[in-house]
Amino acid sequence: MIHNPVPSIYFKSNGKAFRLKAHALLFAIAISLIIGTLTLSFMLLAQYYRQMSTEDDSWLQMEWNIISAKAWLSSADESQLPYHQSKEVDLFGDKNQLVHISLKPWGMFDIAHIQAFNSRDTICDRYLVGAIPDSSVASSLYIADNGRPILFAGNTLITGKSFLPESGVKRANIDGQYFTEKELTKGSIGKSTKDLPAINTKRLDAIKGLLKPNHNEASYIFRNAFPDTMFTHSFAQKTIVYHFRNEITIRRKTLKGNIIIISDTLISVNSDTELDGVILLAKNIKIAGSFKGRIQAFATDTLEVGTTANLKYPSVLGMLQSEKKSDAKSFLRIDKYTTVSGMVFQQATTSEVGQSRLLLESETVIHGLVYGANMVQTSGKIFGNLTCQKVVLNTGYSIYENHLLNTTIDRTKLSKYYILPRLYEKSKHYGIAVALE
């Protein structure tokens, strides 16, 4: 039997001869390869984590830049941000941390697009933007001075500063309901003038102009039928406008986002419909009782909200100037047990034949601003501010001017995070109401 000798390698060290078998060398080479592979793997892994850490830091920096841009926006005024123009903002003055900010009107608010970027990535966030409340809504009650005193009856409670006619405020008895409070108001009383704070008529005219939309407008996508299923449209895209020549009833629909619904006559919204962020615009609007949603609704003739509805913040209900020769039948009415968080307003009418009315029935709750350029009738609760030309009371038997009965107005219960829709002309500084998709 022949045995093949194991290959060997001979070498000398210090005059002595040594023999190293070949398989030992192969074993050493294999170990070296394993160690080299592991070392290379660890080096690649370290490089990967360094790269990921750099990307995470870069992404985190962009997120911080978005936050800084929001702070910059809160300190900016409208002169610094013209609509539909992208403004480059150098956040720290070093040309390294740049963001782009642009605004476009959205009803009584604006939509802010904030874009942060680096060499490879971009973050774009969108926000619904209003105005930071100023002295115009710091009080609970402002009633224009028409030369006659204001009379409180029943369980009327005014908390916060009030601006009332120079002739003052008095106690009254209406249908056996005497004023029950020891103090006329829980807060100081200042003198009002015959005029209300100036409002932004240009914005209101622009909203009203949508009643006759230009179907060639490039920034809109016009459609004449709702989708069959739930539909959400991002504010990163062009606005979808549903324009109906005749009356339209919205039932069993879920519509969210960048959507405007217009009717030349009447929009009716059923309680089985969900609307979020949508704008409604028509001569007449009816919102069913028990409806829940977040909307901006603008009408020129009548706007009605049924009982136990809940319009979440930041919702807006607005009565625009009517084109009728007589405005005697124009009104905005919110029925019993309904809650509105945001703003309810009534623009002044131009007709001397009749004035539009803003009616808040008993047990209604408004969180925010109520502005009435003509007549306001309220027996509900306003946690915020009521500013109006005139208050009226209709008991069913008699009509009283400058009377409040069983009304609660409390500015101290308005959230400190409340952002005012851009109603007032002098409201300059921006505040972020909510984030958008």
State the virtual CA torsion across 6, 11, 17, 23 in degrees, nearest 10: -30
Is 30 inside any structural domain?
A: yes
Is 172 inside any structural domain?
A: yes
Domain identity same for 184 and 154: yes
- pLDDT of 417 strictly over 70: yes
pLDDT tens per residue, range 110-148? 999 999 887 678 888 999 999 988 776 789 999 999 999
For residue 257, the enclosing domain spans: 135-425
**Structure-token pair, residue 199:** 């409002």
Pick the residue with more confidence: 277 or 180?
277
User: What is the value of pTM for the model shown?
Assistant: 0.85
Task: Please report, as a single letter, which amino acid is at residue 43.
Answer: M
What confidence category does residue 15 fall into, taking pLDDT thresholds of 50, 70 and 90?
low
Q: Which of 204-213, 217-226, 331-340 has the highest mean pLDDT?
A: 331-340
Distance CA 194, CA 259 (A): 39
Domain identity same for 89 and 196: no
pLDDT tens per residue, range 260-288? 999 999 999 999 999 999 999 999 999 99
Pick the residue with more confidence: 315 or 1?
315
Beta-strand (E) ranges in 118-210?
122-131, 141-143, 150-153, 157-159, 162-164, 169-171, 173-174, 177-178, 189-191
- pLDDT of 191 strictly over 80: yes
Q: What local confidence, expressed as pLDDT, does residue 159 receive? A: 95
* Sign for the pseudo-dihedral over CA of 400, 403, 405, 408: positive
Phi, psi of 50 (to 5 degrees): -65, -40
Q: Which of 71, 83, 108 is nearest to 277 (CA)?
A: 108
Average pLDDT over residues 93-120: 87
Tell me if 330 sits within 8 A of 358, measured CB to CB: no
Compute CA 112 distance to the chain's CA centroid, rounded to the nearest angstrom.
Answer: 11
Distance CA 151, CA 213 (A): 45
Domain identity same for 88 and 114: yes
What confidence category does residue 202 fall into, taking pLDDT thresholds of 50, 70 and 90?
very high
Q: What local confidence, expressed as pLDDT, does residue 53 receive? A: 57
- pLDDT of 426 strictly over 80: no
Domain identity same for 236 and 277: yes
3-state helix, strand, coil in the chain (%, to 5): 15, 45, 40
Compute CA 165 distance to the chain's CA centroid, rounded to the nearest angstrom.
Answer: 34
Domain identity same for 170 and 34: no
Is 1 inside any structural domain?
A: no
- Per DSSP, the residues of 349-367 read P--SS---EEEE-TT-EEE
Phi, psi of 57 (to 5 degrees): -65, -40
Domain identity same for 110 and 163: no
- pLDDT of 332 strictly over 90: yes
Distance CA 373, CA 24 (A): 100
Average pLDDT over residues 345-352: 72
Q: How many domains does the chain have?
A: 2
Distance CA 13, CA 29 (A): 22
Give how far Cα 382 sits from Cα of 45, 141, 206, Å: 62, 10, 28
Domain identity same for 139 and 228: yes
Is 10 inside any structural domain?
A: no
Q: What local confidence, expressed as pLDDT, does residue 353 receive? A: 43
**What are the residue ranges of helices labelled H in 20-128?**
22-75
Average pLDDT over residues 398-419: 93
Domain identity same for 264 and 292: yes
Number of residues that make up the chain = 437
Tell me if 290 sits within 8 A of 305, measured CB to CB: no
Longest dimension (CA), the chain: 133
Domain identity same for 170 and 310: yes
Average pLDDT over residues 48-60: 65
Is 391 inside any structural domain?
A: yes
